[in-house]
Structure 1
Amino acid sequence: MPPTFVVAIPSPQTGKQSLTMQHALNTKPLPVITPPSHPHSDSLPLDITPKSRPRAISVPLSPSSSSATKNTTQCSSMTKLGKRCSRQVKLPSTHSHIDPIPVVYCHQHRDAMFHAQTGFYVRQKGMPDTFVEFSDYIPQYLQRDTQLALRVEMEKAASTSDVPGYIYTYEIRDPKRPGVIQLKVGRAVNLTKRLDQWGKQCGSKIPIVRGWWPGTVEDESDDDGTNGSLLTGNIKAGEPGPLCHRVERLVHIELADLVVHTPYLDSKFPKVDNSDTSPSTSGSPKKATMKPCLDCGTIHREIFAFPRPEKGRYKGREWELLVKPVIEKWGKFVSEYYA
């Protein structure tokens, strides 16, 4: 510490003092402020640097989230002025299965879009112009909202981030629901690894592999019995198919319609035309309940619960005659025009 100096003002010994001098002599010296000592060498310095904000954490979708409880959305069409239509549209029942939500149109643009054109030209660099008819892939027994959503997905250009992979199907057996068959339809880059992950992620569910695209086991075995198996841990996946994200998206949109509106329960199926059915006259089909999984807490939108037909051609053959053909159809579409 440096020494402290106090300068004293000498008082005159004689003579009468002025009022100014008397005030100066009676003023006490100001106190000396001693600076704080430096911290010891083993003390930690005070960090006053502002802390950065914590990184956001992604959480599984819950039923209370806005995306899960949202009942309306803005019309996806453009007006003649080049602006997006401002009308709010009630979400179709089928769209609760699909994330992100497919396109939805108001009553005016819905009909206009449906009758505007019958197909599209495939956008693929270096390839000749190819026109694809919507009717070659989209059946008339699907609702008009579903058909429009499929049209938009079909016409999209291939994404550079899409990768080859597989579309697999599990059956989740539930003895408490004999009238329903639950089929989980998802995608995987590594089929064997994904099947193993599902078993560990949701341990209370007993999945039974029904098949996968592109390819599955043959009904008849080779001479040495090595043609493949549906047993988990013994599956030989084969070569992956192109653009598995695109294939899964198309498959999910169509399967959601089959689950919610169940056109296959009609005795005339597949010769059923629901394309002209409007939401106001079709009634309100029972909306599939999307509850969080008790094992992992997420909502499995890729699980489709099909009411089983009680009689007819499709009884007991829901996977083979309803789900498998949908997967193979969209896999073939993507392979032929976008691979």
Structure 2
Amino acid sequence: MAHPSISVGVRSRPQLDIAPNRPRATSVPPSPLSPSANKNTAQCSSMTKAGKQCSRQVKLPSTHSHIDPTPVVYCHQHRDAMYTAQTGFYVRQKGKEDRFADYIPPYLQRDTQLALRVEMEKAASLADVPGYIYTYEIRDPKRPSVIQLKVGRTVNLAKRLDQWDKQCGSKMQIVRGWWPVTVENDSDDDGTNGSLLKGSLKAGEPGPLCHRVERLVHIELADLVVHMPYLNPKFPKIDNSDLSSSGVGSPTPKKSVMKPCPDCGTIHREIFAFPRPEKGRYKGREWDLLVKPVIEKWGKFVSEYYA
């Protein structure tokens, strides 16, 4: 669908990311981490002037442990070149170039920004289907300092939410919302606008290309969880260089250890544990002000450019 407006000698579809996003049947629980997701390094995805893939091995950023298949990575030399050489992408159906900066905030790490750029510019997959992006809050009294939000996709919202209760039922799971529609504050005249109670929710019409939306959302949320830029008092008016100087939200954190679920034995990469802010406007509003806007932004992007 879309191709870069500026040629920088980089192939449009990096080799590390050619595996298609296959739809997951709603009756099957998420699979464990694949072998590729357990590697600590990956080959640089950039192409050299000789037309060959760069042979350098790159240490995977901590954010990439949440995402499978692993997003593209670049060595230090090609990462800087990729970032500065191209500021926008050309969408044929729009007939104009759009800027990456209109969608990718500067407080995200450079590796995250480049991974989002690659996903934004990709053509729509014929295997992608309409669906929903839903969010659960997982209540765990043993971890009061974090809020755990599971962000996943499904083609049948009511059925999928019911499956999670049966699959992983040791902890309380509360529905917080879903895309493309969710519960509004004001009800209809007859009081049946909707509810977050699982037996009463109204899913509405599905949104387009739910696999693409989920992947964009996961890439950005992984950065927010690992680097915690929202804990900086100046957030969101910061860039990633501010994080290293402030001492809050280190750009090189230790890689988080993702443990198997005690209920089903799988590693749920789609569960994001946000350290709770102790004060400020984001305290107690992590879903409303941090996660929900990310889902709505990428849902709108995919709907406008690729639906």
CA distance in 2, matches of 1:94, 1:190: 29
Larger RCO (CA under 8 A, 6+ residues apart): 2
Match of 1:70 among 20, 24, 39: 39
What's the TM-score, normalizing by structure 1? 0.78
AA of the residue aligned to 2:32 = L
- 1:132 is displaced (CA, Å) by 1.6
Consecutive unaligned residues of structure 2, counting only runs of 5 or more, are 1-29
Residues 332, 89 of structure 1: CA spacing in aligned structure 2 closer, same or farther, 3 A cutoff?
same
1:86 has 2:55 as partner: yes
1:231 has 2:197 as partner: yes
Match of 1:288 among 256, 266, 281: 256
1:122 has 2:91 as partner: yes
AA of the residue aligned to 1:319 = W
Per mean C-alpha deviation after superposition, the further-off stretch among 67-76 and 133-142 is 67-76
Match of 1:241 among 207, 226, 244: 207
SS of residue in 2 equivalent to 1:254: helix
CA distance in 1, matches of 2:192, 2:161: 20
- 1:140 is displaced (CA, Å) by 0.2
SS of residue in 1 equivalent to 2:175: strand
- 1:92 is displaced (CA, Å) by 0.3
Answer yes or no: is the 8 Å Cα contact 1:169–1:210 preserved in 2.
yes
Q: How does 1:143-222 map to 2 (within 5 A)?
A: 143-222=109-188
CA distance in 1, matches of 2:41, 2:203: 41
Residues 183, 128 of structure 1: CA spacing in aligned structure 2 closer, same or farther, 3 A cutoff?
closer
Aligned residues: 274
Q: In the alignment, what sits opposite 1:31?
A: none
Q: In the alignment, what sits opposite 2:286?
A: 318
Residues 192, 271 of structure 1: CA spacing in aligned structure 2 closer, same or farther, 3 A cutoff?
same
- Once the two structures are aligned, what percentage of the paired residues are identical? 83
SS of residue in 1 equivalent to 2:98: strand
CA distance in 2, matches of 1:283, 1:326: 20
Answer yes or no: is the 8 Å Cα contact 1:142–1:273 preserved in 2.
yes
CA shift digits 1:161-200 (9 cap, x unpaired) = 1000000000000111111000000001010011011111
Residues 277, 102 of structure 1: CA spacing in aligned structure 2 closer, same or farther, 3 A cutoff?
farther
CA distance in 1, matches of 2:251, 2:228: 14
